[in-house]
Amino acid sequence: MNITPEIQPVRRKRMSANASLVRRLHMDGPLLSLLTAVILYGLFILYSATGENFGQWVSQVGRLGLALAAMVALAQVPPAWLRRASPILYGVGLVLLLLVAIHGSTSNGAQRWLDLKVFRFQPSEIMKLAVPMMCAWYLHSRPLPPSIRDIGIILAIIAVPSALIAKQPDLGTALLVASAGILVLFLAGLSNLVITLGLAAFGAIVPVAWHFMHDYQKQRVLMFLDPAQDPLGAGYHSIQSQIAIGSGGMFGKGWMHGSQAQLEFLPERSTDFIFAVIGEELGLLGQSLLILLYLAVIGRSLFVSASAQTTYARLVCGSFALTFFVYAFVNTGMVSGILPVVGVPLPLVSYGGTAMVTLLASFGILMSLNGHRRLVGS
Partner 1 sequence: MFGSSRIKDHNGEQRLFGGRILFAATAAAVLLLIVISRLFFLQVIKHSYFAELSQGNRVRLEPLPPDRGLIYDSQGTVVAENTPAYQLELIPEQVPDVPATLARLADLHLIDHDTVPGLTRLIRTGRRFQAVPLRLSLSENDIAVFSVRQHEFPGVEIRTRLARWYPFGAQAVHALGYVATISEDDLKRIDRDQYSGSALIGKIGLESAYEQELHGLSGYRQVLVNAQGRRVEKLGGTPVHLETRKPTAGNDLFLGVDMRLQHIAEEGLAGRRGAVVAIDPKTGNVLTLASVPTYDPNKFTRGISSIEYAALRDDIDRPLFNRALRGTYPPGSTVKPMMALAGLEYGVVDPSASRNCNGAFSLPGSSHVYHDWKRSGHGPVDMKHAIATSCDIYFYGLAEILGIDRVHEAMDGLGFGRLSGIDVGGEKAGILPSAAWKMATYKQQWYPGETVIVGIGQGYLTATPLQLAHAAAIVAARGHNFRPRLVTSVRDATTQEIHKLPPIEEPLIQLRDLSLWDTVIEGMEMVARPGGTASSSFGGVPYRVAAKTGTAQVFSLGQNQKYNAASLAERLRDHALFIAFAPAEDPKIAIAVLVENGGHGGSAAAPIARRIFDAYLLGKFDQAPKPVAPPPGATLEDLDEVH
Write down the least CB distance from residue 371 to partner 1, Å: 19
Write down the least CB distance from residue 314 to partner 1, Å: 5
Q: Of 143 and 352, which CB lies nearer to partner 1 in the complex structure?
A: 143
Q: Which of 154, 122, 152, 116 is nearest to 135 (CA)?
A: 154
* N-to-C CA span, the chain: 13
Q: Of 17 and 228, which CB lies nearer to partner 1 in the complex structure?
A: 228
Write down the least CB distance from residue 60 to partner 1, Å: 18
- Which 3 state secondary structure label does DSSP give 107? strand
Q: Of 29 and 246, which CB lies nearer to partner 1 in the complex structure?
A: 246
Write down the least CB distance from residue 267 to partner 1, Å: 8
b/e burial code for range 134-149 (CB count within 10 A of at least 16 → b): bbbbbbbeeeeebeee
Write down the least CB distance from residue 152 to partner 1, Å: 12
Q: Of 86 and 287, which CB lies nearer to partner 1 in the complex structure?
A: 287
- Which 3 state secondary structure label does DSSP give 147? coil
Q: Of 222 and 284, which CB lies nearer to partner 1 in the complex structure?
A: 284
**Alpha carbon distance 145, 141 (integer Å):** 12
Write down the least CB distance from residue 232 to partner 1, Å: 8
Q: Of 21 and 306, which CB lies nearer to partner 1 in the complex structure?
A: 306
Angle at the Cα of 354 from the Cα atoms of 351 and 360, rounded to 5 degrees: 95
Three-class secondary structure assignment of 198-248: HHHHHHHHHHHHHHHCCHHHHHHHHHHHCHHHCCCCCCHHHHHHHHHHHHH
Q: Of 30 and 246, which CB lies nearer to partner 1 in the complex structure?
A: 246
Site residues (vs partner 1, CB under 8 A): 48, 51-52, 141-145, 147-150, 183, 186-189, 191, 240, 242-250, 256-267, 279-280, 283-284, 287-288, 291, 294-295, 298-299, 302, 305-306, 311, 314, 318, 322, 325, 328-329, 332-333, 336-338
What is residue 179's DSSP assignment? H
Write down the least CB distance from residue 166 to partner 1, Å: 24
For residue 226, with 0-12 CB atoms within 10 Å meaning exposed, 13-18 middle and 19 or more buried, which class applies?
Answer: exposed
Residue type at 340 in one-letter notation: P
